[in-house]
Structures are given as C-alpha cells and as structure tokens.
Structure 1
C-alpha cells in the first residue's frame, strides 16, 4: 500500500478509551469471585451446610457472567483491527453485556421460584451460619464494586447519551450490585428471623430481590439490544440535522446514526443542495459533532 493510499484509509478501531483499564478491573473481580465460590463450595462440602453450597453455586453463575465480560474485552482487543469486522469490535462489549443480562434474568427467576417455594413450604434455617455467609459475601461484593466502580462511572461523561458508556462494564457492575443487594436483604431477613422469629421474612426478601434484579436485567437487555440492532441515536441525529440543513441550501434526504463503540458513533448522511455546496462543505459543518468517529457523506446537487 503506497503512502498516498494509506493516508486516506479509514481505521475502524472503536474501543472505549478505558478499555484496557476496565478489562483489568473485570479480570480482578472474576478472580475474586472464583476464589469466594471455591471457598464456599469446599466449606459446604466439608461442613455439610446446604446454605454454603447453595451460595457457592449462586456465585458460580455470577463468575460465569463476569467471565463473559472479561472474555469480551479480550476478544475485542485482539480483533480490533480485524478486517472481517466492517466497523471494528467496539460492540463486542454490548454483546457480552446482553449475554450477561440474560444470565442475570435467569438468576432472578431462580431466586424468585426458590423464594416462593420456601414461603409456601418453610424450611429450617441455620441463622448463624447463613448470616456469616451473607456478611462474607457482602464484603466480597463491596470489594468488587470498588474495583469496578471507577470504570462504570467513567461511562457517564456523556450525560445526554444514555448509551454513551461501556455496557460490558455496566453488566459486570450490575452483577456485583445484584449480589450485594441479595446479601444485604439476606442479612436483614436472617437477623429478623433469629431475633424476632420472622422466618417468613427470608423468602419474602428473596422475592423482593428477585424483582429488583429482574428490572436491572431488563434495563440492561433493552440498552444493549438497542446498540446491537443499530438503534438511531436521536441526540446525535438531531445535532447533525441542525448543522447540515439550511433553508434553500441543503436538505438531508437520508440519515443513519448508530453506535460502533463505547465512545464512537458512525453516520451516513445523504444530502441534496445547491451547486455552491458540496460534500466537503457538509463535512466541515459536521466537525463539531465529536461523537461521530466514522462519517460518510453523499451529496447530490439540485
């Protein structure tokens, strides 16, 4: 490829600005979750505690979902310049986020079903052991949230764009929050059961937690599905129309704006206008639209 040709070649690397940092944080949380999972399953097998075993396998589902997030970061980085992907791998994180949201939905369903069954058929609860498990689990979740918190908050720089953040990091963060929520609710219910005799509160809190987690899962699925289906970013589209369309000068006949990465959008703008305007002038008008990293302009003179 000669120098003149390479100077006009488009790059399609649309990874988030904090991609590597978020990948490291997610990997640390995966390892922390796996260590906790193995410890709980081993302790449950040695002590015969079903509560420990159940929580250990519950942690395994979250370790799997967080593992998907870590794998998505690695795959996106490794294939960022792969020509097989027309617009790069910036949306791999959204695919990972959608998969994680599905797992989260299944977890909430499992918690809900188990809670209803225990509400209808109460079982004996080892309050002391179960409370200790919940406290240790909460400590792990707090540590994980602190690791992921910075990477998650980074995505809220673009307040006008609800999709303008790393959905892969968001999915990992939501999984940690879901675990923390179930731990907090469990601790409250177990203490009430132990000291007030409110045994029913444990499964009731389980149902509350399942509903909240299901809502988080639905929100995450809706956001990531919109990105995967190339949903139009209305804010950026409106900004493009405002800058391009001028009475008697130029009119947009076709406009496509979609997300191709955590911090990047692509746009195809078809314009008809006077002969005094051309594609380069349209590009100049659109320079202030910093969200657009890949712009295609089609111009036809009237």
Structure 2
C-alpha cells in the first residue's frame, strides 16, 4: 500500500471537554427550571442537552480511541471509532426527537400553565452556552464526521433554546401556553431531518460505499491517460475515516515491465489520484496479460 498524506486538520480534545462542561451546567439548570416552571419545552430542551452530554462524551472517547496505534490484531487501529460514534449520535438525535413529539402531543390534550419568566431566562442561558460550544467546534466539524455529529447536537440545541425563548415570550405576553407544545414539535422535526442526514453519511462510510464526490469512471479515465497503463480494474474506493480516502485496484500494465519501472508508474498514478480526487492511500496490484475479468467493478 502506498500512503500519500496531505495535511489534516488537528482536532483538539479541549474543545470537546469545554463543551461537555457547559452542557452539564445547562442540563442541570434546565431540569430544575423545567420542573419549577412546568414547561415541557424546557424539559425537552434539557433532555436534548443531556443527550448532548452523552454524545459529546462518546465523541471524546472515540476521538481518543482513534489515536491509538495499530497492532498485529488491529492493523487499522481504531480509526473507524469516530465514524461509529457519529452513527450512534445520529440515532440518538432521531430517538430523542420522536420522544419529544410523543410528549408534546400528550401535552396538547392536557395544557399546563407555565412560569414563562423562568422559561425565558433559562432558554437565554441555553442559547449562550450552546452557541459558545457550537462555535468552538465549528472548525473541527468541517474536517471530522465525529466532530460534525457533536457540533450538530450543539447547534440544534441552540436552535431549540431559541424556539423555547420565542415560546416563553409568547406565553408571557399573549398567554399562548399551547405554543410550548408547538415549539417542542418544531424542534423535534428539525432534529429528525438533521439526524437522518448524519445517519445516511455515517452509514455510507461504515458500509464502505464509494464517497459521493468520487466518480469511478472519471478515475479510470484519468489513470488511463498515463503512459504504460493498460487497464485499471477491480476498483474499490472508500473512506477509512475522514482523513483517509483509500483506493484498491488491479492494474493491467501495457508492457511487461520491471518492478523499478512499475514504481515510477505507480508514483504517477498516486499524484493524479491525490491531486484530482484527494485519494491519499493507494493499493494497486500490478498485472500483465493476466486472464481474469477486466471489469471496473467486480464482486469479490
């Protein structure tokens, strides 16, 4: 296997740890406030914040685990741990959302008078704390699916707090206590959409599907332009994690070349795949007039 590394963004533990601390403070405050005020939306927000704490802890554990060295029993190390964390986090988003919808529907038929001042104060606190947490993870989320799952938990929580704040203001000035349930449902529907998108992305990675931005036929076309290449076939392209995009293939050489010549040919292929497709881990099996299927995709 040939490894052509590019510079990856370094994700730091301290950002996650700080976010965990803030979310614990928010969760405790909102649970107490939700009980005292009678606000389902506030308790729902607290539940979502608690799920954030669990998700952030999982993300932190997976991130640290992914840094462990490979060994004879785990030749890839734990590099896929962060994808698993993102997969689990996406499922928790959806489960929490379904639970919120269920509770909101029950509350519709049993409306409760709510202490709106407490709801307004604590929802504002949630906006500030979640906003800060999401902000410090935003850059990491652009480079790492695990951090993206953590960031989405925090960002949606900030939006949830905004919704709760709006609901609190409407209850205070108009007496619309049914708004509490409406805001809860709106929060939940948004969580479902976000969770499904993240679940789809992480599942594709776990199933080793070809990344969405990769066109296999385009790869073949570019590689075939290189002198000495006969046919690239038996191709697999997958993400090991966010920073490692792998390609495995057979290469039918146009001439019966020496190994040193193949090394030069391989180097040219590596450059094309890295520069045009950002593929940085390449494993190519050289062949010459070998009698087997030359199809681009073959069921192994």
**TM class by smaller structure:** 0.7 to 0.9
The reply to whether residue 182 of structure 1 matches residue 160 of structure 2 is yes
Q: Deviations over 1:32-84 (max 9, x none)?
A: 1123323444x459x8455476654442221111111111111111x233343
Residue aligning to 1:17: 8
For residues 114-144 of structure 1, give each alpha carbon's deviation from its aligned partner in whole angstroms, at most 9, with x where no partner exists.
1111123212211111111111111111111
Cα drift, residue 110 of structure 1? 1.4
> Quick one: which of 248, 272, 291 aligns to 1:268?
248
Q: What is the CA distance between 1:175 and its match in structure 2?
A: 0.3
Pick the aligned partner of 1:244 from 185, 204, 223: 223
Aligned mate of 1:122, from 107, 111, 119: 111
Distance 2:73 2:147 in 1: 25
Matched, 1:254 2:244: no
Q: Distance in 2 between matches of 1:289 and 1:35?
A: 47
Q: Does structure 2 conserve the Cα–Cα contact (< 8 Å) formed by 1:244 and 1:250? A: no
Q: How many angstroms apart in 1 are the aligned matches of 2:45 and 2:130?
A: 13
**Cα distance, 1:11 vs structure 2:** 7.7
Asked if residue 297 in structure 1 is aligned to residue 284 in structure 2, the reply is yes
Does residue 286 (structure 1) correspond to residue 275 (structure 2)? The answer is no
Could you tell me whether the CA contact under 8 Å between 1:243 and 1:286 is conserved in 2? no
The answer to whether the 8 A contact 1:269-1:296 is kept is yes
Of the three residues 52, 55, 60, the one matched with 2:50 is 60
Cα distance in 1 between the residues matched to 2:17 and 2:217: 38
For residues 56 and 235 of structure 1, do their structure 2 counterparts lie closer, same or farther at Cα, with a shift above 3 Å needed? closer
Secondary structure of 2:71's aligned partner:
coil
Deviation at 1:283, TM superposition (A): 4.0
Q: Check 1:272–1:288 CA distance in 2 against 1; reply closer, same or farther (3 A cut).
A: closer
For 1:253 and 1:84, the matched residues in 2 are separated by 30
Q: Specify the SS of the correspondent of 2:273.
A: coil
In structure 1, runs of 5+ residues without a counterpart are 1-8, 156-164
| Alpha-carbon distance, 1:197 to partner | 2.5
- Contact 1:16/1:166 (CA < 8 Å) preserved in 2? no
CA deviation vs aligned residue, 1:189-215 (integer Å, no higher than 9, x gap): 221122123222221121111111100
Contact 1:273 1:299 in 2 (8 A): yes
**Higher mean displacement: 242-251 or 214-223:** 242-251
Matched residue SS, 2:214: helix
Q: 2:172 aligns with which of 188, 194, 197?
A: 194
Give CA deviations for 1:3-29 in whole Å, capped at 9, x if unaligned.
xxxxxx9789x99833442x3211210
Q: Please say if residues 15 and 90 of structure 1, whose CA atoms lie closer than 8 Å, have aligned partners that are also in contact.
A: no
- The residue matched to 2:280 in structure 1 has which SS? strand
Q: 5 Å matches for 1:61-100?
A: 61-77=51-67, 79-100=68-89
CA distance in 2 between counterparts of 1:149 and 1:58 reads 19
2-side partners of 1:69 and 1:193: how far apart? 37
**Alignment CA distance shift 1:84-1:50 (3 Å):** farther
Report 1:40-55 matches (<5 A).
40-41=30-31, 43-44=32-33, 48-51=36-39, 55=45
Aligned residues: 278
CA deviation map 1:226-262 (0-9, x unaligned): 1111111352634531222249951122101111121
